[in-house]
Amino acid sequence: MEVIVAKTAGFCFGVKRAVESVYRQIEANEGRPIYTYGPIIHNEEVVKDLEKKGVQVLNTEEELAALKEGVVIIRSHGVGKHIYDILNKPGIAVVDATCPFVKKIHRIVQEENAKGRRVIIIGNEHHPEVEGIKGWGDDRTMIVESETQIDELSLLSDEKVSIVSQTTFNYKKFQDLVEKILKKGYDSSVLNTICNATQERQSEAREIASKVEAMIVIGGKSSSNTQKLYDICRRECEHTYYIQTFDDLDPESVSSVRSVGITAGASTPKNIIEEVHTKCQN
């Protein structure tokens, strides 16, 4: 069996940086409480390992507000400005592991608002990255993810609009939605904030999936970028499987094929990808 592993599979720069920051804090703050605001990444295996080492996950603003001491790590997805305000108190050390590419969007949103422009974020409104981006906007900031939502846009004819995107959004879909907004005739400024690594990962996954008989996509079930990879691969290869670890894969599903492709979301550790690769070969 031929097994092709995507070169872009696995941790991206921002995720690797965030995970490494947590392990550094574990070593540097022995005995001091360490928290992450939300899971540091959307991968259950990594989160479980950190929990074994004493790292606690906080999921609500109320939990943050109740803290009296400890180290709080802001994950790669980033947070809204008000979260920094909550954590700005004695006894709390903040380690900001926000992906630099996400930080850039925060700055853009602030700057565009300061110019008097309305910001439209293209992305999933329930994703923590998008929630964080919106937290740097104002009351006019909007989130859209579908053509239906764009059809329903009702803005002033002379309103100035700036468009940004969730870093992991599907690039082709972003282009389609932007084109639909531009057709409405607003004074629009488009800032493509999709991460280059995301575009490369999606393009490579599409190419591999079009050449193989079966495709395996590895990643956490709550990972937005992994879900998008699966959707892309599924359109190219009927036999596409979404797994978190090799244990989720039925070996019979790929036992009779001559070629298998493997890709993985940005939150998938290298050891899991290697395990799937090795077992597929065997």
**What are the catalytic residues?**
129
Q: How far apart are CA 77 and CA 101, in angstroms?
A: 10
Cβ(21)–Cβ(57) below 8 Å:
no
What 3-state DSSP class applies to 155? coil
What 3-state DSSP class applies to 104? helix
Cβ(236)–Cβ(206) below 8 Å:
yes
**Contacts of 7 by beta carbon, 8 Å cutoff, 6+ apart:** 204
Q: Quote the DSSP letter at residue 219.
A: -
**HSE-up of residue 35 (Cα within 13 Å, Cβ side):** 22
Q: How far apart are CA 116 and CA 138, in angstroms?
A: 10
Cβ(194)–Cβ(167) below 8 Å:
yes
CB-CB neighbours of 53 under 10 Å? 11
Cβ(78)–Cβ(135) below 8 Å:
no
Q: How far apart are CA 98 and CA 46, in angstroms?
A: 17
Pairing of strands 70-74, 34-37: parallel
Pairing of strands 259-264, 214-218: parallel
Which of 81, 85, 73, 61 lies closest to 25, judged by CA?
73
